[in-house]
Amino acid sequence: MKAIRLHAFGGPENLRLEEVDQPCPGAGEVLLRNRAAGVNPIDWKTCAGGGASAFIGELPFIPGWECAGTVVAVGSGVEAFRSGDEVFGFLRFPNPAGCFAEYVVAPAGQLARRPPGLELHAAAGLGLAGLTAFQALHDKGGVQAGQRVLVLAAAGGVGHLAVQLAKAAGAEVVGTASSANQEFLQRLGCDQVVDYHHGALTARINAVDLIIDGVGGQTAIDALPCLKAGGLMVTLPSVTAAQVSAAAEPQGYRVEGIRAQPNGRQLGQLAELAAAGKLQLSLGQVLPLAEVAEAFRLSASGHQRGKLILDI
Protein backbone atom coordinates (compact mmCIF):
# COMPACT_ATOMS: atom_id res chain seq x y z
CA MET A 1 0.00 0.00 0.00
CA LYS A 2 1.02 3.64 -0.31
CA ALA A 3 1.78 5.52 2.89
CA ILE A 4 3.46 8.70 4.02
CA ARG A 5 6.52 7.96 6.15
CA LEU A 6 8.87 10.07 8.24
CA HIS A 7 12.45 8.76 8.52
CA ALA A 8 13.93 11.63 10.56
CA PHE A 9 12.23 14.30 12.70
CA GLY A 10 12.20 17.63 10.89
CA GLY A 11 10.19 19.79 8.51
CA PRO A 12 7.57 18.74 5.93
CA GLU A 13 10.36 18.08 3.39
CA ASN A 14 11.16 14.93 5.43
CA LEU A 15 7.82 13.29 4.55
CA ARG A 16 8.03 10.57 1.85
CA LEU A 17 5.29 8.80 -0.12
CA GLU A 18 6.38 5.14 -0.07
CA GLU A 19 5.23 1.60 -0.80
CA VAL A 20 4.93 -0.39 2.47
CA ASP A 21 3.31 -3.64 3.67
CA GLN A 22 -0.40 -3.56 4.41
CA PRO A 23 -1.11 -4.04 8.16
CA CYS A 24 -3.21 -6.99 9.48
CA PRO A 25 -5.96 -6.64 12.09
CA GLY A 26 -5.42 -8.43 15.41
CA ALA A 27 -8.02 -9.34 18.04
CA GLY A 28 -10.49 -6.50 18.59
CA GLU A 29 -9.21 -4.62 15.54
CA VAL A 30 -10.62 -3.67 12.15
CA LEU A 31 -8.83 -3.20 8.81
CA LEU A 32 -10.01 -0.18 6.81
CA ARG A 33 -9.50 0.81 3.21
CA ASN A 34 -8.77 4.36 4.21
CA ARG A 35 -10.23 7.07 1.93
CA ALA A 36 -9.37 10.28 3.75
CA ALA A 37 -7.41 11.57 6.76
CA GLY A 38 -7.54 14.82 8.71
CA VAL A 39 -4.43 16.95 9.22
CA ASN A 40 -4.01 18.62 12.61
CA PRO A 41 -1.33 20.79 14.26
CA ILE A 42 -0.26 17.73 16.30
CA ASP A 43 0.88 16.04 13.05
CA TRP A 44 3.48 18.64 12.05
CA LYS A 45 4.46 19.33 15.67
CA THR A 46 5.15 15.60 16.19
CA CYS A 47 7.02 15.18 12.90
CA ALA A 48 9.20 18.15 13.88
CA GLY A 49 10.17 16.36 17.12
CA GLY A 50 7.67 18.06 19.49
CA GLY A 51 3.98 17.20 20.07
CA ALA A 52 3.55 13.46 20.66
CA SER A 53 7.05 12.54 19.41
CA ALA A 54 7.95 10.98 22.78
CA PHE A 55 5.33 8.27 22.05
CA ILE A 56 6.44 7.44 18.50
CA GLY A 57 9.24 4.97 19.22
CA GLU A 58 11.42 3.82 16.33
CA LEU A 59 11.26 5.66 13.01
CA PRO A 60 10.06 5.39 10.27
CA PHE A 61 6.66 6.53 11.40
CA ILE A 62 3.41 6.86 9.44
CA PRO A 63 1.73 10.03 10.78
CA GLY A 64 -1.99 10.75 11.05
CA TRP A 65 -4.48 10.07 13.87
CA GLU A 66 -7.90 10.43 12.23
CA CYS A 67 -9.41 8.84 9.16
CA ALA A 68 -12.55 7.70 7.31
CA GLY A 69 -12.93 4.64 5.11
CA THR A 70 -14.55 1.25 4.53
CA VAL A 71 -14.12 -1.85 6.68
CA VAL A 72 -12.48 -4.62 4.62
CA ALA A 73 -11.65 -7.17 7.37
CA VAL A 74 -12.26 -7.65 11.10
CA GLY A 75 -10.13 -9.39 13.73
CA SER A 76 -11.44 -11.94 16.22
CA GLY A 77 -13.93 -10.70 18.78
CA VAL A 78 -15.19 -7.77 16.72
CA GLU A 79 -19.00 -7.75 16.78
CA ALA A 80 -19.78 -4.11 16.10
CA PHE A 81 -18.45 -3.89 12.51
CA ARG A 82 -18.28 -6.02 9.40
CA SER A 83 -16.85 -5.73 5.87
CA GLY A 84 -18.47 -2.97 3.87
CA ASP A 85 -19.30 -0.69 6.83
CA GLU A 86 -18.44 2.97 6.34
CA VAL A 87 -16.62 4.20 9.45
CA PHE A 88 -14.43 6.98 10.79
CA GLY A 89 -12.21 7.33 13.82
CA PHE A 90 -9.65 9.04 16.00
CA LEU A 91 -7.14 6.30 16.74
CA ARG A 92 -4.55 5.24 19.35
CA PHE A 93 -3.48 8.80 20.29
CA PRO A 94 -0.79 9.62 21.42
CA ASN A 95 0.70 6.35 20.12
CA PRO A 96 1.16 5.97 16.34
CA ALA A 97 -2.02 5.23 14.36
CA GLY A 98 -0.72 5.43 10.77
CA CYS A 99 -3.71 7.20 9.19
CA PHE A 100 -1.75 8.77 6.29
CA ALA A 101 -1.94 5.45 4.43
CA GLU A 102 -4.24 3.48 2.11
CA TYR A 103 -4.96 0.84 4.77
CA VAL A 104 -5.26 1.39 8.52
CA VAL A 105 -5.78 -1.04 11.41
CA ALA A 106 -8.06 0.49 14.04
CA PRO A 107 -9.16 -0.67 17.50
CA ALA A 108 -12.90 -1.34 17.00
CA GLY A 109 -13.80 0.69 20.12
CA GLN A 110 -12.26 3.83 18.62
CA LEU A 111 -14.44 3.85 15.48
CA ALA A 112 -17.99 4.96 14.76
CA ARG A 113 -20.23 4.30 11.79
CA ARG A 114 -20.38 7.10 9.25
CA PRO A 115 -24.07 7.86 8.72
CA PRO A 116 -25.28 8.72 5.18
CA GLY A 117 -25.70 12.39 6.15
CA LEU A 118 -22.01 12.74 7.07
CA GLU A 119 -19.82 13.25 4.01
CA LEU A 120 -16.54 11.26 3.76
CA HIS A 121 -14.10 14.19 3.99
CA ALA A 122 -16.05 15.80 6.83
CA ALA A 123 -15.99 12.50 8.75
CA ALA A 124 -12.22 12.19 8.26
CA GLY A 125 -11.72 15.55 9.99
CA LEU A 126 -14.25 15.10 12.77
CA GLY A 127 -12.52 12.57 15.06
CA LEU A 128 -9.61 14.43 16.62
CA ALA A 129 -10.98 17.97 16.56
CA GLY A 130 -14.54 16.91 17.42
CA LEU A 131 -13.55 14.77 20.39
CA THR A 132 -11.18 17.48 21.63
CA ALA A 133 -13.98 20.04 21.51
CA PHE A 134 -16.49 17.63 23.08
CA GLN A 135 -14.18 16.51 25.89
CA ALA A 136 -12.98 20.07 26.59
CA LEU A 137 -16.56 21.32 26.90
CA HIS A 138 -18.21 18.39 28.63
CA ASP A 139 -15.64 16.15 30.37
CA LYS A 140 -13.26 18.91 31.49
CA GLY A 141 -15.47 22.00 31.27
CA GLY A 142 -18.79 20.60 32.57
CA VAL A 143 -20.63 23.05 30.32
CA GLN A 144 -24.22 23.86 31.38
CA ALA A 145 -27.15 25.42 29.54
CA GLY A 146 -27.27 29.18 30.12
CA GLN A 147 -23.51 29.50 30.72
CA ARG A 148 -21.36 31.94 28.78
CA VAL A 149 -18.53 30.21 26.88
CA LEU A 150 -15.59 31.94 25.19
CA VAL A 151 -13.76 30.05 22.41
CA LEU A 152 -10.26 31.38 21.56
CA ALA A 153 -9.34 30.49 17.93
CA ALA A 154 -13.02 29.88 17.17
CA ALA A 155 -12.47 29.54 13.41
CA GLY A 156 -9.90 26.73 13.73
CA GLY A 157 -10.37 22.97 13.49
CA VAL A 158 -11.30 22.52 17.14
CA GLY A 159 -12.74 26.00 17.66
CA HIS A 160 -15.46 25.92 14.98
CA LEU A 161 -16.72 22.60 16.36
CA ALA A 162 -16.51 23.86 19.97
CA VAL A 163 -18.70 26.84 19.00
CA GLN A 164 -21.42 24.53 17.65
CA LEU A 165 -21.18 22.00 20.49
CA ALA A 166 -21.40 24.77 23.08
CA LYS A 167 -24.52 26.14 21.33
CA ALA A 168 -25.99 22.62 21.20
CA ALA A 169 -25.43 22.44 24.99
CA GLY A 170 -27.49 25.63 25.44
CA ALA A 171 -24.60 28.02 26.12
CA GLU A 172 -24.19 31.60 24.96
CA VAL A 173 -21.02 31.59 22.82
CA VAL A 174 -18.39 34.25 22.22
CA GLY A 175 -15.59 33.48 19.76
CA THR A 176 -12.33 35.20 18.80
CA ALA A 177 -11.10 35.30 15.20
CA SER A 178 -9.82 37.77 12.61
CA SER A 179 -12.38 39.89 10.77
CA ALA A 180 -12.32 37.58 7.70
CA ASN A 181 -13.90 34.85 9.85
CA GLN A 182 -16.64 36.94 11.52
CA GLU A 183 -19.45 35.96 9.15
CA PHE A 184 -18.38 32.31 9.11
CA LEU A 185 -18.66 32.13 12.90
CA GLN A 186 -21.99 33.97 13.01
CA ARG A 187 -23.38 31.40 10.55
CA LEU A 188 -22.21 28.63 12.93
CA GLY A 189 -24.23 30.23 15.73
CA CYS A 190 -21.63 32.33 17.57
CA ASP A 191 -23.55 35.00 19.53
CA GLN A 192 -20.61 37.43 19.62
CA VAL A 193 -17.50 37.36 17.43
CA VAL A 194 -14.54 39.46 18.57
CA ASP A 195 -11.62 40.34 16.28
CA TYR A 196 -8.56 39.70 18.42
CA HIS A 197 -6.45 42.15 16.37
CA HIS A 198 -8.32 45.17 17.72
CA GLY A 199 -7.32 45.70 21.34
CA ALA A 200 -7.54 43.70 24.56
CA LEU A 201 -10.25 41.02 24.75
CA THR A 202 -10.93 42.00 28.37
CA ALA A 203 -12.27 45.40 27.21
CA ARG A 204 -14.97 43.65 25.15
CA ILE A 205 -15.68 40.31 26.85
CA ASN A 206 -16.55 39.63 30.49
CA ALA A 207 -18.50 37.37 32.87
CA VAL A 208 -17.51 34.19 31.05
CA ASP A 209 -18.02 30.86 32.84
CA LEU A 210 -15.76 28.73 30.63
CA ILE A 211 -12.98 29.46 28.13
CA ILE A 212 -11.94 26.88 25.54
CA ASP A 213 -8.46 28.08 24.60
CA GLY A 214 -7.10 27.04 21.22
CA VAL A 215 -4.19 29.51 21.22
CA GLY A 216 -2.30 29.11 24.51
CA GLY A 217 0.67 31.14 25.84
CA GLN A 218 0.35 34.87 26.47
CA THR A 219 -2.95 35.07 24.50
CA ALA A 220 -4.52 32.63 26.97
CA ILE A 221 -3.03 34.43 29.98
CA ASP A 222 -4.33 37.80 28.72
CA ALA A 223 -7.83 36.31 28.28
CA LEU A 224 -8.11 34.98 31.86
CA PRO A 225 -9.81 38.14 33.27
CA CYS A 226 -12.68 37.58 30.80
CA LEU A 227 -13.72 34.84 33.27
CA LYS A 228 -16.08 35.29 36.20
CA ALA A 229 -14.42 34.92 39.61
CA GLY A 230 -13.48 31.23 39.97
CA GLY A 231 -14.16 30.54 36.27
CA LEU A 232 -12.47 27.76 34.30
CA MET A 233 -10.21 27.77 31.24
CA VAL A 234 -9.56 24.50 29.37
CA THR A 235 -6.33 25.13 27.49
CA LEU A 236 -5.61 22.93 24.46
CA PRO A 237 -1.95 23.58 23.54
CA SER A 238 -0.12 21.30 26.00
CA VAL A 239 3.20 23.05 25.58
CA THR A 240 1.99 26.22 27.40
CA ALA A 241 -0.53 24.64 29.80
CA ALA A 242 1.77 24.86 32.85
CA GLN A 243 2.63 28.53 32.10
CA VAL A 244 -1.07 29.44 31.76
CA SER A 245 -1.95 27.54 34.92
CA ALA A 246 0.80 29.29 36.91
CA ALA A 247 -0.48 32.69 35.77
CA ALA A 248 -4.10 31.82 36.63
CA GLU A 249 -3.65 30.50 40.15
CA PRO A 250 -2.79 33.79 41.95
CA GLN A 251 -5.77 35.44 40.20
CA GLY A 252 -8.20 32.77 41.44
CA TYR A 253 -8.99 31.25 38.04
CA ARG A 254 -8.91 27.51 37.35
CA VAL A 255 -7.03 26.08 34.36
CA GLU A 256 -7.27 22.49 33.05
CA GLY A 257 -5.03 20.99 30.38
CA ILE A 258 -6.35 18.20 28.18
CA ARG A 259 -5.18 15.30 26.08
CA ALA A 260 -7.91 14.25 23.66
CA GLN A 261 -8.87 10.58 24.09
CA PRO A 262 -10.08 8.22 21.37
CA ASN A 263 -13.69 7.26 22.22
CA GLY A 264 -16.00 5.42 19.81
CA ARG A 265 -19.11 6.12 21.89
CA GLN A 266 -18.60 9.91 21.94
CA LEU A 267 -17.69 9.76 18.24
CA GLY A 268 -21.08 8.15 17.61
CA GLN A 269 -22.75 11.09 19.39
CA LEU A 270 -20.87 13.53 17.12
CA ALA A 271 -21.91 11.51 14.06
CA GLU A 272 -25.58 11.73 15.14
CA LEU A 273 -25.35 15.49 15.58
CA ALA A 274 -23.65 15.83 12.17
CA ALA A 275 -26.20 13.61 10.43
CA ALA A 276 -29.02 15.66 11.98
CA GLY A 277 -27.46 18.86 10.61
CA LYS A 278 -26.66 20.15 14.12
CA LEU A 279 -22.86 19.94 13.72
CA GLN A 280 -21.13 20.99 10.52
CA LEU A 281 -17.50 20.28 9.82
CA SER A 282 -16.12 23.07 7.69
CA LEU A 283 -13.62 21.83 5.10
CA GLY A 284 -10.66 24.15 4.63
CA GLN A 285 -8.81 22.43 1.82
CA VAL A 286 -8.83 18.85 0.52
CA LEU A 287 -5.45 17.80 -0.91
CA PRO A 288 -4.22 14.47 -2.33
CA LEU A 289 -2.13 12.28 0.03
CA ALA A 290 1.02 13.07 -1.98
CA GLU A 291 0.62 16.76 -1.06
CA VAL A 292 0.91 16.17 2.68
CA ALA A 293 3.90 18.55 2.92
CA GLU A 294 1.76 21.41 1.59
CA ALA A 295 -0.99 20.47 4.07
CA PHE A 296 1.55 20.68 6.92
CA ARG A 297 2.69 24.13 5.72
CA LEU A 298 -0.90 25.37 5.55
CA SER A 299 -1.68 24.03 9.03
CA ALA A 300 1.53 25.53 10.47
CA SER A 301 0.55 28.97 9.13
CA GLY A 302 -1.82 29.11 12.13
CA HIS A 303 -4.67 30.65 10.12
CA GLN A 304 -6.50 27.66 8.71
CA ARG A 305 -10.30 27.93 8.72
CA GLY A 306 -11.97 24.61 9.59
CA LYS A 307 -10.15 21.38 8.70
CA LEU A 308 -7.47 20.32 6.23
CA ILE A 309 -8.08 16.89 4.70
CA LEU A 310 -5.93 14.44 2.71
CA ASP A 311 -7.85 12.51 0.07
CA ILE A 312 -6.48 8.97 -0.27
The strand pair at 208-213 and 227-235 is best described as: parallel
Q: Distance between CA 92 and CA 164 in Å, rounded?
A: 26
37 within 8 A of 287, measured Cβ to Cβ: no
Separation between Cα atoms, residue 180 and residue 207, nearest integer Å: 26
Rule CB under 6 A: say whether 259 interacts with ligand NAP. yes
Instruction: Please report whether residue 159 would count as binding ligand NAP according to CB under 6 A.
Output: yes
Side chain identity at residue 6, one-letter code: L
158 binds ligand NAP (CB under 6 A): yes
User: Of 263 and 299, which CB lies nearer to ligand NAP in the complex structure?
Assistant: 299
156 binds ligand NAP (CB under 6 A): yes
Q: Determine the residue type at 208.
A: V
Residue whose CB is less far from ligand NAP, 103 or 245:
245
Q: Which is nearer to ligand NAP, 183 or 276 (CB)?
A: 183
Is 28:49 a contact under the CB 8 Å cutoff? no
Q: Look at residues 106, 165, 141 and name the one whose alpha carbon lies nearest to residue 236.
A: 141
Q: How do beta strands 15-19 and 2-6 pair?
A: antiparallel
Left (φ > 0), alpha (ψ -120 to 50) or beta: where does 53 sit? alpha
From 30-38, 117-125, 150-158, 225-233, give the range in contact with ligand NAP by CB under 6 A.
150-158
Judged by CB under 6 A, does residue 141 bind ligand NAP? no
Binding mask 119-138 for ligand NAP (x = CB under 6 A): ----------x--x------
Residue 288: CB atoms within 10 A of its CB come to 12
Instruction: Write the interaction track for ligand NAP spanning residues 218-257; mark x where CB under 6 A is met and - where it is not.
Output: -x----------------xxx-------------------
Q: Does 107 bind ligand NAP (CB under 6 A)?
A: no
Find the binder of ligand NAP among 11, 199, 252, 302 (CB under 6 A): 302
What gap in Å lies between CA 165 and CA 19, rounded to an integer? Answer: 40
Complex with ligand NAP: residue 85 or 222, whichever CB lies closer: 222
Given the rule CB under 6 A, which residues bind ligand NAP? 40-42, 129, 132, 152-153, 155-159, 176-178, 181, 196, 214-215, 219, 236-238, 258-260, 299, 302-305
